[in-house]
Amino acid sequence: MRTKALSIASGILVALLCFSFSALADDEVTRRAQDPNEWPSPGRDNALTRYSPLRDINTDNVSRLQMIWSQSTGALRGQEGQPIVIDDVGGKPMMFFVSGCPEMSKCNIVQGLDLSHPDHPIQVWNYMKQNDRDETAIPRACCDTVNRGPAYADGKVVFGTFDGFVIALDAKTGREVWTVKQASPEKGETITGAPLIADGKVIIGFGGDEFAIRGRVDAYDLKTGKQVWKCYSTGSDKDACLTAETNKANPQYGIAGKDLGIHTFVGNDWKIGGGSAWGWFSYDPKLKIVYYGTGNPGLWSPSYRCSKRTQEECNTGDFDNKWSLTIFGRKVETGAAVFAYQMTPFDQWDYDGVNENVLVDMNVDGKDRNTLVHFDRNGFSYVLDRADGTLLRANKYVTVNWAERIDMTTGRPIKIREHSPFERGHSVNACPSSMGGKDQQPCSVDPTEPNKFYCPTNNWCMELEPQPRSHMQQGTISSFANIFMYPEKPGVAGKIKKFDVLSGQTDWEISDPYPNWGGTLVTAGGLLFYGSLNGDFRAVNRGTGKVLWERKLASGIIGNPISYRVKGKQYISILCGIGGWIGVPVTAGLDIDDRFGAIGATAMAKAANLDKIPQGGTLFTFRVME
């Protein structure tokens, strides 16, 4: 009896310790997000609001904002990410950031900067993985070798490498704590996204839809790197972690019991059916749900993804290519899908669904809701109840001609035949382009004004011509389409807009001849910060849309601004350096006159004069001068 009692007591102790570690890791991320001085995770909080409560820099003094220091990233190309700032790493305030991967000799360099003297930071360590690197990863960069930044918890800086490693470093020393191989470049899998740390787990996906990969998300134990769960985007219900409870509130989205991740594809194409999660992850610590979106089903020549012969037959739901282009809400403990809402079933445009899912609470139609807001590539902004996936709003936020609207009962788009590419060899006009009304560049929101979002948008259309399929092999480019992209209005490539997700109305917008491929930052000081691919970094009165301050930086901006405070002074930092899908014609030295190059990017790069933008990755930091 004594032995049994001790065994029970030991079991309880182990359970408490495990719970304690999980809770501490969870509490740490949440606690740090409550400190306005820090920028502790990619979106500042795991809700991805990109809102800073700091107000020292405001509409009255922003005209005195000056560059105070800069630091090279060590790599030529830019990053689609941001630094993170932690105020107590070994008693020091520290900043961490990761470079892109232009070549394996300068791939994903991590820097740790001591901010004890905030106007004169000192690099105390840098790290780049030296062994087991995969040179085959670079040629498999569909849309540039960018990185979207690290995450932090439990004294660890965690990030992904382009060639497929997930690595945790000791934040004080830069030494490896653990390393795991998640993605396989030989299969076309590469990591560009930022990880999410939640519930004592590191959650991350990879890209490669155009290389015929099979999308998957993995959760690793933050302490050890041991895999906790994995869930695929295609395949059986078991592989996709669907249960009898999935979509219980909305069975019209698709339920378990039918293996839709297999049978909505032709033959065995689900094995190469894309659906990668290469974008952003968010997390609700009360609901214990992780949110992310999945990419396209790989093959851009859509008629091959349906065994029927007509547009109408292929859009009945039988060939939706589940679960590509889907917003997943998964239980953080197990990965089990709470809901799965597919935004663009039977994709015909490459409208990847990986853009950020921002978590805010708002009153919708007289009822207080815990909501998720998603601005999709397909040109619609979605508002879902984040507890069960119920669709509450779906509004066009840019020019959209491929669909009339979203059916609010079924959640399905009402497609327009003349703007839906289908037949091979037949070119079709569609707006927005494959780069989307907005690509991964994230919006921001003040949680006290939860229906007003500050978003960078693309204002491009395209001619898309499906091509014959010559092969379909993992690790080999398999798009099979000619795409010509062009500005919707000559001279306007990008717009920043303040958009109401409930009414579907734009409060104000700023047009720009250069694309806005970087994210936004909104602050309690009444300001919005963003940058353009010309290198123009701007501060805007968020109430009126008036530009109050701007500076020309060294290269194009595809990064996301952050704000933090050290020793009573507020700072703004931004990563600079042309890159991303829109910039890859420049960074890869492609023929700018090839109208179909880089899956349509060269035509837009030429139209926006991006070949005149110098390269170079640099972090710039600003503060108000007294």
What average pLDDT does this structure show over 553-567?
97
Please, what is the Cα angle at 440 between 439 and 444, to 5 degrees? Answer: 110
Between 597 and 392, whose confidence is greater? 392
Which one of 3.40.50.620, 2.140.10.10, 3.90.1150.10, 3.10.310.30 gives the CATH number of domain 35-46+58-624? Answer: 2.140.10.10
- The counts of H helices and E strands in the chain are 5, 38
What average pLDDT does this structure show over 549-564?
97
Q: What is the mean pLDDT of the chain?
A: 93
350 is catalytic: yes
Contact 148, 440 (CB under 8 A): yes
347 is catalytic: no
3-state SS, one letter per residue, for 117-182: CCCCCEEEEEECCCCCCCHHHHHHCCCCCCCCCCEEECCEEEEECCCCEEEEEECCCCCEEEEEEC
Contact 529, 523 (CB under 8 A): yes
- Active-site annotation holder among 144, 210, 237, 385: 210
DSSP lists the bridge partners of residue 406 as 413
What average pLDDT does this structure show over 303-307?
96
Residue 5: per-residue pLDDT: 42
Contact 626, 575 (CB under 8 A): no
**Whether the predicted pLDDT of 458 surpasses 90:** yes
**pTM of the predicted protein model:** 0.95
Contact 245, 387 (CB under 8 A): no
C-alpha–C-alpha distance, residues 7 and 308, integer Å: 61
186 is catalytic: no
Q: Which of 167-181, 583-597, 612-626 has the lowest mean pLDDT?
A: 583-597
- Active-site annotation holder among 163, 284, 350, 512: 350
What average pLDDT does this structure show over 14-24?
40
The per-residue pLDDT for range 161-184, each reduced to its tens digit, is 999 999 999 999 999 999 999 999
Residue 390: per-residue pLDDT: 98
Q: How many C-beta neighbours within 10 Å does residue 333 have? A: 15
Q: What is the CA radius of gyration of the chain?
A: 23
Residue 7: per-residue pLDDT: 39
The per-residue pLDDT for range 22-42, each reduced to its tens digit, is 444 457 888 999 999 999 999
pLDDT band for position 3 (cuts 50, 70, 90): very low
Residue 26: per-residue pLDDT: 55
Percent of the chain surpassing pLDDT 90? 85
**Whether the predicted pLDDT of 15 surpasses 50:** no
The per-residue pLDDT for range 416-433, each reduced to its tens digit, is 999 999 999 999 999 999
- Active-site annotation holder among 108, 296, 355, 458: 296
Asked if the bond preceding 93 is cis, omega within 30° of 0, the reply is no
Residue 296: per-residue pLDDT: 96
pLDDT band for position 19 (cuts 50, 70, 90): very low
Residue 532: per-residue pLDDT: 96
Residue 45: per-residue pLDDT: 97
